[in-house]
Structures are given as structure tokens and as C-alpha cells.
Structure 1
Amino acid sequence: MHYDLAIIGSGIVGLGHAWVAAKRGYSVAVFEADSRPEGASIRNFGMIWPIGQPAGSARALSLRNQQLWQELGKAAGFPVERCGSVFLAHHEDEMQVLTEFADSASSRDLNLKVLNPAETLQHLPAANPNGLKGGLYSRTECRVHPPTAITSIVSYLSELPEVELHFETPIVKVHDGSIQSADRKSWTANRIIVASGAYFKHLFPEQHRNQQFKICKLQMLLTVPQPDQWKLGPHMASGLTLRHYSAFDICPTLTQVRQRVATTMPELDRYGIHVMASSTPAGELILGDSHEYGDDIEPFDKDEIDQLILREIHKVLQIPQASIARRWSGFYTKHPHEMYIFREIEPRIHLVNGFGGNGMTLSLAASDSVIEQLANSNQMS
């Protein structure tokens, strides 16, 4: 009942650490309170999204992360599609931001092409041609189907001799290399990683609060399967999304975009709404999303938010069958300044959290970095 590494949390962050550690030959245990992963890791677009990361360490981490997804997908038997992405511009200021970004030094490690309206429709035929000013195509982005990917990773890890998975095992106490579950079972490990995402209030709540994490709630939707094997193709992001990703903060015209939205559509800022879309293997479209933080979060979803998302989606996309089959909300933990947090909060116990909405884009590479640091300092054995 002793391991080199114990991980609390079976989202993509926890599973990523387990995979990387097992590749190095370490014995690993993963503990999860539920019967399967049910948090943010299965409630997202499945976008592996380097274009949204600012140039420098975050971008480099995202590109490394993309390589690791390809490796893990091949090992665990799930597809990682190199689909690319298209940002749509239906306003002149949005088109100017896309051009500024493509011309900047910070985009040189991306494979970008500025598109005129006709070229945009070639790359993304579903784009609404009414008022279309153009777009920005990136070949870099990838797609996974989150429920499929996470289920496949769990199945794959369960077959590895180095890994033990303990589902339906809520952990209530962690101290000095010892772990205790609610039913009084106990285990020990040389190192313990707490990767509990938004559900961190049961273990080390004070240490989590000290990191100034914010909880974010988002609402998302899923259409019915599209007819006649219709596919969206690349990921789609509208001009509203430029407000959300810090990679575009270098663009001078972004201020104008933000001011226009704040003046003409303040309801979108109120709920942190920007619109994106991605396909599923079954031909549905995942649509979203919104962002409510801290005390603004309520236990009930808002139909107003769903309607605003759909209103803005229909401005930029022509979807053959827009009926909604599913609606859900997700929660993630965001740090106000850092990409993510890796801290030793007690001897032999480490906190890894705070990825915000970038879990799929950064987590595998972050896991690789964390395990390498622990291994190089001889803390895993």
C-alpha cells in the first residue's frame, strides 16, 4: 500500500501526472471520490488551443502539450485530430486585431494565414457570409472528444502495472506522506499531489485560499447530430473570443473591440460570454460559453445565458440543425496571474491547480514538467 506517487483527483491534471510518472517507472496511485471523472475535464470543447496562449513559456508549454496528446492518444487508443482553427471577423475592428496578431512577432511559432471573406468560407463553409470581413486560420490546434479521451485514458492506465486507480474513494486526510479515506483505509507515498480542481474545499482549503484562486462557472450546449454527415471542420471562434484570450492583448485595436462590445452589448460582459464551436465524432456541435466568478455563481443555470450564446452563435455560423440536445455547466479553478500553481504546501505534499480554462491545452505538459522536477530532485524515491 505504498507508492512513489499518490495523486488525489482524476481529471486530466491528475491522470496526466499518473501517465508521466508511470512512463518513468514510478509506482502510482490515483484517488477519486466519484465512480469516474465527472468534472471540468469532460465538460469542455476538447480544444487543444495553443493560439490562445501568450507567446513565451505558456505558448511553448501548449505546443509541448500538443505533442504529448498525440503520444497519449496513440497509446490509449483515442483520436487526436489535427483540425486547426478559424477566428471569424464580422466587424472591421475584429479583422484589424486578427491582422495585427498575425503580423506580430508573438505569432511566429504558430502556422497562421489571414483570410479574406472568400478564403474564410473555403476553410469554414458554415461561416455566416452576411457581414463577414474575413478570418484567421491556424493549422496548429487539435481536437479530442473529452468524454471519450478521459474514459480511454482511465482504461489505459488501469492496465499499466505501475498504476492503481481507486475510484469511489474520497480522501479525508493527507499528512506527511499518509493518505486516509472516508472508510478509514490508509496508504502512504513518497510524494502526494493534490489535483482536485474546483473541488478543493475538503482538503487544504486554507492553502488553496492562500493561492487566491477564483472559481469560474461556465454554461455550454450541445446540438443534435447534424444531418447528412455535415461537419464543422476546424474549431470556430468568433471575434468576441478575442476579448477572452490574453494572447491577443498585444493588439492595439483590441481596446476598440472591447469598448464596442461593452457599449453595444453589455450583457455579454456581464456574463463573460464569447462564442466558440467544435464538432464531436457523432456530428453534434459543442457551443459555448460563459464565465461567472466567485460570488456571482449561482447553483442554477440561467436560460438568459444560453439564449445569448445562441444569439451570438447564429450571427457568425449557419448551422443546419440548431436544436439543443444537452445543456450543462462546468466549474474550474483559475489563478489571477499564473498559468498554474505547483507548490509544496506541506512536507511531501504538492498542490497542482489553477489552470483555468486551459486544462486541455496545458495539463499534460505541466504534468511532464512537475514529474521531471520531482525526479531530478530525487523526491520520488
Structure 2
Amino acid sequence: MAAHTSTPHYDIVVVGAGIIGLAHAYHAHRRGLRVAVVEQNDGVVGASVQNFGHACITAQSGAAREYALAGRRHWLDLARAAGFWAAQPGTWCVARRDDELAVMAEFAAERGDDEVRLLGADEFRSAVPVPDAIGGMYLPNDLQVEPRAAAPGIARWLESEGVDFHWRTAALGFEPGVVRTSRGTLAAEHVVVAVGCDVDRLFPEPADDLLRCRLHMVKARIPLAQPLPGPLFTAWSLVRYSGFENLPSTPALAERLRRETPDYVAMDLHQMYTPQPDGTVLIGDTHDRAVSAIPFQPEAGFEALLTETRTLFGVDDVEVLERWQGMYTSGSGDEFLLTEPIDRVHIVTVTTGIGMTTSMGLGESTIARITESVTA
């Protein structure tokens, strides 16, 4: 742990060692800048390790899509450099009803064969063990990392590369070129504040409409007929991601889900699966938004995930290994909060659950923009 015996000066100080903060530290380091990371915990423990580890590139739109595409190669480069598991399995999306196939067909027509491949029932079922699949689609460009290893591995590698990490150190206040912490003061040309859900505690006004989104998450062993070939989407994914939002058939699918499963809509279910290197599967998730995150998890959320898992794969039992409450920042408008409340102090927050997907491209964009003055 770095000691603050004087006032160290850096080109970039990043507050927050989640994947958004680490991506900014990585890109600043790549530019040869002197970088420090301030983190209140003694390691990476937040949304970056609580999630699916899925870089869902293809299903994004707008700025999120640009960041996701730009960041893809950096994920692969970092996996090699830092030594964590990463794969390029793409994403599979199952269709069990005709309205789901309709959305997929429209998406494929919009994006083209390089991004979306439509699959018939036999072809899909030969790859993915869903007995009642009537077809599906394959998104070949999406990536996957092991969520509990990726961000911690990046932090260790950056530290070995000379980035200063100030663990168990809280940011208390900011001035132009200054971060006041619980262990002293750091000086910087620019400060990036990437603290996720806690941004409202440091900057309440720009974060006033942000909420904490709590998730039901499960790690399990599923007795599948064959292993999942990669992350698996369902109908619920088609009504969640922005890339599908404006397709002609999406509203009808959303209405059918509301009509048939109002309880699931009320818990904002998203049924998806990411297989892990050890053979387990991460299952999620539900979404509950509030200013404060209460610690109590209704069992109904876990039961919904497990019931739908048994139904989807046609299995009688699912061995639950772990249950937990994931959490990320949620906003009602743009997918990103990017603002400069104090001169040279930059808030960077992803306000929906696409932090892993967009982090590397977002970090590259931010650092390129703010460091023009550092390198000029």
C-alpha cells in the first residue's frame, strides 16, 4: 500500500478500482502517464465481480455500442497480459415462440451476417441443450471473462506495471488538481471518479436521480445434456437491451411477456446464463431499484430463476452453490453519467448493467479526451 508521507503528484488519479476505474487506469498507463488508483476497499468487491462476466457487444446501440466495439481488443490484450481467463464464444439466444424469432430476424436484417447468424431448430438444439427451442440466433463477436478473476487480475497487473494503488483509502473531497483522502492528499492533473453506486455520496447533485439496482444472482451446477457453448440469452434479453428496443416486433413480445408472466415483469426478470471454466453456470437476474439498497432478498426472486432454469433445460434439479445480491448504478435516462462538476475532476459512471461491456472503450475515450492537456 502506498504511503502518503508527502503530496504525491500524478497525471491521473482514478477513484474507484472497479472495472470502470481500472479501464481508465489502464488506458492512462498505456499512454505513459503516471497513474494512481484510490479504493476504499482492500480489493475489488463490487459490481465488477458480482456480474456475469459477459461483454455483450452486439446487443448495444448508440454510444454503448461504440464503446463496446472499441473495447473488445483491449479485453483480449489484457487477458493475455494479466493472465485471466477470457474467451470468444459469442452469445447464443434461444427462441421458443414465434414472436421471439420475429425479433431475431429483424435484428439479423438490421445488423447483417457478420454480427448475427439466425439458426433453425435443429442447428440450435445441436449446440445448446434447450429441448423445446424452435430456433435462435448466434452473436459471434461477443466475449466472456471470468468475473471474479478479471478485474482483480487487471488490478494486480497494473500494480506490477507501476500504477500506484492506495487500497483501504477513502476519497473525502475534491478540488481542482487535488484529491483529499483518508490517508492524505494526492495531487493530479486530472481526476477520474468511477465509484459506481457510491457516486451520490461524493457528488449528490449530479447523481441525484441515480438509484441502486439490486439483483438476485445464483451460481449453480445444472445437469445439462451437454455444456453450454457460451452465454445464453432468452426472450427476456430481447426486451432488455437497447439494440432490440426499436425493432418492429419488440413491443408485441414485451406485451406478451407482461400478459403471461406479470410476476416476472414486476421483479424485472432477465433470464440469462453464463457458463464458467469450472463447469458451473451463473444464473440471473432480477432488478429492484431504490436510493438505498436494503440487504433482504425475497426468496421469490431466486425461485423464479431456478424454476425457469428447470423449465428451459428440461431438468429436474439444479444444485445451487451460491446466492448473492449483485448491485449496480441505475439511471432513468442516458446509459452514462459523464460530467465535470469541478475543473479537471471527471465523473464517469455507467448507469445500467453494461459496465463490463463498455468499460474498455469508455476508458479509452475518456482518457484520450482529458489528457490532451496533460500531453500537450
TM range (shorter): over 0.9
For the pair 1:122 / 2:126, whether they are aligned, the reply is yes
CA contact (8 A) 1:225 1:282 kept: no
**What does residue 154 of structure 2 align with?**
153
For the pair 1:289 / 2:285, whether they are aligned, the reply is yes
More divergent stretch after superposition (8-17 vs 237-246): 237-246
CA contact (8 A) 2:310 2:316 kept: no
**What does residue 80 of structure 1 align with?**
86
Runs (5+) with no aligned partner, structure 2: 1-7
| Identity in percent | 28
- Evaluate the alpha carbon distance shift between residue 274 and residue 296 of structure 1 in structure 2; reply closer, same or farther with a 3 A threshold: farther
Q: TM-score scaled to structure 2, two decimals?
A: 0.93
SS of residue paired to 1:15: helix
Displacement, 1:298? 3.5
Displacement, 1:318? 4.3
For the pair 1:111 / 2:107, whether they are aligned, the reply is no
SS of residue paired to 1:282: coil
Displacement, 1:26? 0.5
1:322-346 Cα offsets, whole Å, 9 max, x none, are 2101011111113333231221110
SS of residue paired to 1:345: strand
**What does residue 39 of structure 1 align with?**
46
Distance 2:106 2:310 in 1: 26
More divergent stretch after superposition (265-274 vs 95-104): 95-104
Q: Counterpart amino acid of 1:269?
A: V
**Following superposition, which runs of at least 4 residues in structure 1 exceed 4 angstroms of deviation?**
225-228, 318-321
Q: Counterpart amino acid of 2:109?
A: D
Q: Counterpart amino acid of 2:69?
A: L
CA contact (8 A) 1:16 1:363 kept: yes
- Given candidates 16, 19, 22, the residue that maps to 1:15 is 22
CA contact (8 A) 2:217 2:282 kept: yes
Q: TM-score scaled to structure 1, two decimals?
A: 0.92
**What does residue 197 of structure 2 align with?**
198
Distance 1:367 1:92 in 2: 39
For the pair 1:60 / 2:66, whether they are aligned, the reply is yes
Aligned length: 369
Correspondence 1:329-368 to 2 at 5 A: 329-368=325-364
CA contact (8 A) 2:329 2:351 kept: yes
CA contact (8 A) 2:55 2:142 kept: yes
Runs (5+) with no aligned partner, structure 1: none
CA contact (8 A) 2:212 2:292 kept: no
- Evaluate the alpha carbon distance shift between residue 355 and residue 295 of structure 1 in structure 2; reply closer, same or farther with a 3 A threshold: closer
Correspondence 1:220-259 to 2 at 5 A: 220-224=217-221, 231-259=227-255
**What does residue 217 of structure 1 align with?**
214
CA contact (8 A) 1:342 1:370 kept: no
- Evaluate the alpha carbon distance shift between residue 166 and residue 74 of structure 1 in structure 2; reply closer, same or farther with a 3 A threshold: same
For the pair 1:89 / 2:95, whether they are aligned, the reply is yes
CA contact (8 A) 1:101 1:250 kept: no
Distance 1:264 1:189 in 2: 55
Displacement, 1:142? 0.9
**What does residue 142 of structure 1 align with?**
143
SS of residue paired to 1:216: strand
For the pair 1:4 / 2:11, whether they are aligned, the reply is yes
SS of residue paired to 2:198: coil
SS of residue paired to 1:172: strand
